[in-house]
Amino acid sequence: MDSASLALLNQRFALNGQLRFEAGPGGLPAVYIANVHTQAALVLQGAHVLSYQPRGQEPVLWASSFGHFAPGRPIRGGIPVCWPWFGAHPADPAKPGHGFVRTALWEVLSTRSEADGSTRIELGLADSPATHALWPHFFALRLAAVVGPQLQVELRIHNTGPEAFTCSGALHSYFSVSEAASIAICGLEGCAYTDKLDGQRQLQDGPVRIAAETDRVYLDTAAECRILDPGLKRAIRLAKAGSRTTVVWNPWIAKAARLEDFGDHEYRRMVCVETANAPPDLIALSPGAEHCLQTSIRVEPI
């Protein structure tokens, strides 16, 4: 996006003292928010929340220092939007992992200041010939982010076509932690999960702890989770709606070394706890129907 296009966005949507559009990492068009509560950044490619840092706190979201910031390349970190499928395409592994919307350029629909000093931005994406080449359905997506004392992200999925479709997806949140091996993730105790490393179904015994490569889909749960981080003396509290699955991921040592956009030792400083509609939690939408996937993130001292 050239400087004239950014200037037009600022003319239409900038909020004095709160929100502006600039060339971000790699030159990607980005939204920078700073208000009385926090500062944050979003990238228009993928409607991607890249950072969120309440005032006086350490960053809440994590992003790799080895990540790609280029047109058409997914970004490692922040909150990628995975849709209309989660993980590999169920029938064609040659199609992009986690769907195609995280590398699409979204449109700015609106911005506004809220009464409590928070800042709201809404982005949109609709089907096109390019999306029909990958997925043959008609849709309209709306992503709203409210940046304030907490970060609220809402993805609305609208079936605008004449036929029903089924989809999956996630708000694939990466969180910054002091040391992955020292944290505890509470709220999933007793939940069944599928371990994607071996395909086995198990029950969670106590809080989730990270001591090896972890890739789990927790099933039939709408529970709020807390990431307890004694090193940072904080808890990250994660509430959600429109989701019956929670995904927990950390690549650990060997996989981190295999990932080109992930530093060999960065696994120690992050964990993904994702608000998801991951299989078997599929969403079926009839013509005209809508589904809303929401996550709310806030930080508390411990």
The pLDDT of 15-33, averaged and rounded, is 97
Q: How far apart are CA 115 and CA 117, in angstroms?
A: 6
**Which one is catalytic: 37, 98, 172, 266?**
172
Tokens of 34: 């700073």
Residue 190 lies in a domain: no
pLDDT band at 1 (very low <50, low <70, confident <90, very high): confident
Q: What are phi and psi of 48, to 5 degrees?
A: -95, 115
Domains held by the chain: number: 1
Q: What is the CATH number of the domain that holds 122?
A: 2.70.98.10
Is residue 284 within 8 A of residue 164, CB to CB? The reply is yes
Q: Whose structure tokens read 């990466």? A: 174
Is residue 236 within 8 A of residue 297, CB to CB? The reply is yes
State the chain's mean pLDDT as an integer.
Answer: 97
Q: How far apart are CA 182 and CA 197, in angstroms?
A: 22
Secondary structure of the chain as H, E, C letters? CCHHHHHHHHHHHCECCCEEEEECHHHCEEEEEECCCEEEEEECECCEEEEEEECCCCCCECECCCCCCCCCCCCCECECEEECCCCCCCCCCCCCCCECHHHCECEEEEEEECCCCCEEEEEEEECCHHHHCCCCCCEEEEEEEEECCCEEEEEEEEECCCCCEEECEEECCEEECCCHHHCEEECCCCCEEEECCCCCEEECCCCECCCCCEEEEEECCCCCEEEEECCCCEEEEEEEECCCEEEEEECHHHHHHHCCCCCCCHHHHEEEEEEEECCCCCEEECCCCEEEEEEEEEEEEC
pLDDT digits (tens, 9 = 90+) for 93-119: 999 999 999 999 999 999 999 999 999
Residue 295 lies in a domain: yes
Q: How far apart are CA 109 and CA 123, in angstroms?
A: 5
| Residue 186 predicted with pLDDT over 90 | yes
The pLDDT of 54-77, averaged and rounded, is 97
The answer to whether residue 300 is catalytic is no
Residue 225 lies in a domain: yes
Residue 199 lies in a domain: no
Is residue 166 within 8 A of residue 283, CB to CB? The reply is yes
* High-pLDDT (> 70) share of the chain, %: 100
Residue 89 lies in a domain: yes
| Residue 59 predicted with pLDDT over 90 | yes
pLDDT digits (tens, 9 = 90+) for 194-226: 999 999 999 999 999 999 999 999 999 999 999
The pLDDT of 243-255, averaged and rounded, is 98
Q: Pick the closest to residue 172 from 283, 76, 266 (CA basis).
A: 76
| Residue 258 predicted with pLDDT over 90 | yes
Q: How far apart are CA 124 and CA 50, in angstroms?
A: 17
Q: Pick the closest to residue 159 from 291, 46, 279, 282 (CA basis).
A: 291
The domain of 158 spans 3-178+217-248+270-301
Residue 94 lies in a domain: yes
- Note if the pTM is more than 0.95: yes
Residue 212 lies in a domain: no
Residue 222 lies in a domain: yes
Q: C-alpha angle 188/193/194, rounded to 5°?
A: 155
The pLDDT of 238-256, averaged and rounded, is 98
The answer to whether residue 179 is catalytic is no
| Residue 37 predicted with pLDDT over 90 | yes
| Residue 231 predicted with pLDDT over 90 | yes
**Which one is catalytic: 122, 154, 266, 274?**
274
